[in-house]
Amino acid sequence: MAGYEYVSPEQLAGFDKYKYSAVDTNPLSLYVMHPFWNTIVKVFPTWLAPNLITFSGFLLVVFNFLLMAYFDPDFYASAPGHKHVPDWVWIVVGILNFVAYTLDGVDGKQARRTNSSTPLGELFDHGLDSWSCVYFVVTVYSIFGRGSTGVSVFVLYLLLWVVLFSFILSHWEKYNTGILFLPWGYDISQVTISFVYIVTAVVGVEAWYEPFLFNFLYRDLFTAMIIGCALCVTLPMSLLNFFSVDPLVTFRYFRATS
């Protein structure tokens, strides 16, 4: 493993020409989160490496996953008649999820603040994000879990693919346009998930047994939000960005793939 050539010399040479370019049009990010992150990043000392911030946020996501796995190993803890996850666990997971999300938003600002932004740092960040897609979904699954009031494991599997599809789609978009259009669904989902964890600690998992509207259960709302966000927000915006950035880019792409 140590002697394996993961990146060719030609690919390494390409890093010298690479320049990070991203566009964020999400109102939540622009008017709420970015001002918040701009304040938070000033707390960090300039000697703190951006990659360490990135990795710390990822470790919090993994810790949440392991903590929930300990209290809910078979995803039945939220089902009626089973021993539920303690309320304090939901609070801890909710707070740490928001902290991890904050660190993910701050690491790039720290890199630019300390003039240490590199293509490898971006690759490290996005590589960890790809793993986090799994941990986020599986951890939040414990809110509903399995059983008569929960979500089937097969649906969980589909939701994992939907989230991964959204992640891959945004990077396909960047590969072909040279610009990373940050998906709206990420910021909205992270704030919502953190909030829902705290609400679960206050109202208990039994509150999610009740219908949200008519016979439409909260578990159905959970599933519909993830799929709907991917199909109605992420996918259309990615295609719109792909076709509108540069017509020549679109032409070259379809010519190369035809």
Query: In CATH, what number is assigned to the domain containing residue 159?
Result: 1.20.120.1760
Would you state the structure tokens that stand for residue 76, as one six-digit string?
A: 């039945």
Instruction: Please report the pLDDT score of residue 251 as a whole number.
Output: 47
Instruction: Please report the pLDDT score of residue 183 as a whole number.
Output: 80
> Does 8 reside within a domain?
no
SS3 call for 4: coil
SS3 call for 73: coil
Percent of the chain with pLDDT over 90: 43
Instruction: Please report the pLDDT score of residue 247 as a whole number.
Output: 55
Global pTM reads 0.87
> Does 12 reside within a domain?
no
> Does 77 reside within a domain?
yes
**Residue 68: which residues within 8 A CB-CB, separation 6 or more?**
85, 89, 93, 139, 142
Instruction: Please report the pLDDT score of residue 67 as a whole number.
Output: 97
| Catalytic choice (34, 84, 126, 171) | 126
**Residue 204: which residues within 8 A CB-CB, separation 6 or more?**
84, 87
Instruction: Please report the pLDDT score of residue 224 as a whole number.
Output: 84
The predicted-structure confidence for 209-256, as pLDDT tens digits, reads as follows 888 777 788 888 888 888 888 888 788 888 887 777 655 555 454 444
CA 73/CA 92 separation, integer angstroms: 18
Helices H / strands E in the chain, number of each: 11, 4
> Does 168 reside within a domain?
yes
Surface-to-core class of residue 147, CB atoms within 10 Å of its CB (0-12 exposed, 13-18 middle, 19+ buried) = middle
Instruction: Please report the pLDDT score of residue 10 as a whole number.
Output: 76
The predicted-structure confidence for 127-171, as pLDDT tens digits, reads as follows 999 999 999 999 999 998 888 888 888 988 988 998 888 888 888
> Does 140 reside within a domain?
yes
Percent of the chain with pLDDT over 70: 92
* Cβ(188)–Cβ(135) below 8 Å: no
Residue 102's domain comprises 19-257
Would you state the structure tokens that stand for residue 75, as one six-digit string?
A: 């995803």
Instruction: Please report the pLDDT score of residue 253 as a whole number.
Output: 45
Instruction: Please report the pLDDT score of residue 2 as a whole number.
Output: 64
Say which residue the tokens 């040479």 belong to: 13
* Cβ(44)–Cβ(200) below 8 Å: no
Element (H, E) at 31: none
Average confidence (pLDDT) over 53-78: 96
Instruction: Please report the pLDDT score of residue 85 as a whole number.
Output: 95
User: Catalytic residue at 84?
Assistant: no
> Does 6 reside within a domain?
no
The number of folded domains in the chain is 1
- Max CA separation in the chain (angstroms): 60
* Cβ(43)–Cβ(113) below 8 Å: no
204: left (phi over 0), alpha (psi -120 to 50) or beta: left
